[in-house]
Chain A
Amino acid sequence: MSEVAALHTGAQANESPLTPESWGKLGMWLFLAGDAMSFGGLIVGYGILRHASTKWPVPAEVLGINLTALMTFVLIVSSVTMVLSLSAIQQGDRAKFNKFMGLTILGGLFFLGCQAYEWTHLLHDVLPKYNLSFSKDLFATTFFVLTGFHGMHVSGGVIYNICVFLAVNRGRYEAKHVEIAALYWHFVDLVWILIFTFVYLL
């Protein structure tokens, strides 16, 4: 049995078919699964509060979706550049890796900048206009909790990516480390796709 597994997966004979190809990757996946449950709990909670509320503004009207659509686009593009940077480092092309990883980091920073602008704009101009307040209305509270929790993940991801960028250039990290960082970054993108739909569009 283990020989068959070894034939098909390239695993060592003393490993079971359940032994992961990379422990680091398994660790990241386990972390992301736990993290997804945090987001899942928040999104389900948001849905139930919204359902139970008698008054709920139309999100697309209050929040506006032009800027958010741009943010979504940038985050998806940064996911693509992340994938390309991983593919470059797997082929040993450091210069190409630097280019695409740099773009990924810039994309993350751009996203954060947009979010900072959006929050300021909402808090100072939009919410007072609709007579909503951050602390009193579930609409505003759930919005800031969900986007804030995601924004923290993006901040963490940008710092993580910068560390990986530096470590690769110092020769301490290889493609397998970049792959793990990429998993985290794609997860952040995946969650934003859901938040964009549930919080802004729905």
Chain B
Amino acid sequence: MTEAAHKEPNYIGVFWWLLVLTVIEIAVIYMPIAKFAIAVMLIVLAVTKAALVALYFMHLKFERITLGWIALSPFILCVFLILMLLPDIFPR
């Protein structure tokens, strides 16, 4: 059993991070700055939160690298999907 090998992460600490980032997200949409800047900030915050959940709650940080690649594959394919659709999104 390798689960016992790693120290249990501080789950409550992760929870506070998730909460703070959510509050920041809600605050960001009321900020008087350019829409594009808001969008970029929101996406960065959301991806950070998703990564926190995957790394700590789903223990990805403490798993073998194989599972990490499996978890990453849908995101790579999504980026690929967007790239493939770019000609449709921005037609000449």
Q: Interface on A for B, CB 8 Å cutoff?
A: 9-10, 17-18, 20-21, 25-26, 29-30, 32-34, 36-37, 40-41, 43-44, 47-48, 51-52, 60, 65, 69, 72-73, 76-77, 79-80, 82-84, 87, 90, 182-183, 186-187, 189-190, 193-194, 196-198, 201-202
Q: Mark B18-38, 1 if CB is under 8 A from A, else 0.
A: 110010011011000000000
For A182, list chain B residues within 8 Å (CB).
57-58
Contact in complex: B42, A83 (CB < 8 Å): no
Question: In the complex, how many angstroms separate the beta carbon of A11 from the nearest chain B beta carbon?
Answer: 9
Main SS of chain A's interface residues? helix
Contact in complex: A29, B71 (CB < 8 Å): yes
Given contacts A33-B74, A40-B78, is CB(A76)–CB(B22) below 8 Å? yes
For B1, list chain A residues within 8 Å (CB).
10
Q: Give bound CA distance, A65 to B89, whole Å.
A: 28
Chain B interface size, under 10 / 10 to 19 / 20 to 34 / 35 or more: 35 or more
Given contacts A20-B64, A194-B46, is CB(A84)–CB(B11) below 8 Å? yes
For B43, list chain A residues within 8 Å (CB).
197, 202
For B11, list chain A residues within 8 Å (CB).
80, 83-84, 87
Q: Give bound CA distance, A69 to B18, whole Å.
A: 12
Contact of B22 among A10, A21, A48, A72 (CB under 8 A): A72
Q: Interface on B for A, CB 8 Å cutoff?
A: 1-3, 5, 8, 11-12, 14-15, 18-19, 22, 25-26, 28-29, 39, 42-43, 45-46, 49-50, 53-54, 57-58, 63-64, 66-67, 70-71, 73-75, 77-78, 81-82, 85, 88-89
Contact in complex: A193, B73 (CB < 8 Å): no
Given contacts A20-B64, A33-B71, is CB(A44)–CB(B39) below 8 Å? no
Count contacts between A and B, CB distance < 8 Å.
112
Q: Give bound CA distance, A41 to B53, whole Å.
A: 21
Question: In the complex, how many angstroms separate the beta carbon of B5 from the nearest chain A beta carbon?
Answer: 8
Q: Give bound CA distance, A36 to B14, whole Å.
A: 22
Query: Which chain A residue has the least Cβ–Cβ distance from B57?
Result: A186
Contact in complex: B57, A79 (CB < 8 Å): yes
